[in-house]
Amino acid sequence: MAEDPTLAAAKAAQAEAKSTKRENVISTKPNAQYMLARIDVLTQIFVFRLSNLLESADPAGPEKDTPEQPPSLVDTANHQLLADTVTMALIRAAEELMVLTRTMKELWLLGNLDTLVSDQTNEEREKTENLKKDEDAVVRGLHEWFKQNGDKLSRPLDEQKGEEDTKMVND
């Protein structure tokens, strides 16, 4: 059987955590990067467990084409124990995947999965802040315009048109 990928995945996650700079504020909300890494690890574990189960399903093993004698009772008991152990490991891996998907559904439904705010790059944040500043400037400009021209809006359009016509004639 192959080496268990759980240890390799844990080491890779630790190395990635050390290599990335963490902000001063530690958030307890899971982000998209964490969820994607967790999905990758759990699917690798699930595939590994499934391959172990399929390898253990062949009682003769890959080295024997046909057994010369029927398997002994001890061999059968050992094979049964191995099959039970590998099956339980596969079930546990499937349960972990189900727990993760349920957690993701709950976070998505409750709005606690912080994928939009914390995963933005600095450029996107700056662009968003600049757009907010521009929006505020437009709103202030509109307020000023309405303060200056609000009396024209309250009069009927015919009076306003007459004033515009006289201004054009005078100019």
Q: What is the pLDDT of residues 72-123, one digit of tens each?
A: 899 889 989 998 999 999 999 999 999 999 988 888 888 766 555 555 567 7
Report how far apart, in Å, the C-alpha atoms of 63 and of each of 27, 58, 60, 68 are: 52, 11, 8, 13
pLDDT at 87: 92
Mean pLDDT of 28-53: 85
What is the rounded distance in angstroms from the CA atom of residue 149 to the CA atom of residue 143?
A: 10
Instruction: Round the CA-based radius of gyration of the chain to a whole number and report it.
Output: 34
pLDDT at 45: 92
Cβ pair 2, 48 in contact under 8 A: yes
Residue from 6, 20, 14, 13 nearest 36 by CA: 13
Cβ pair 153, 66 in contact under 8 A: no
The answer on pLDDT for 4 being more than 70 is no
Query: Which tokens in the block code for residue 85?
Result: 């152990």
Cβ pair 49, 89 in contact under 8 A: yes
What is the rounded distance in angstroms from the CA atom of residue 95 to the CA atom of residue 119?
A: 28
- Please, which pLDDT band fits residue 28 given cuts at 50, 70 and 90? low
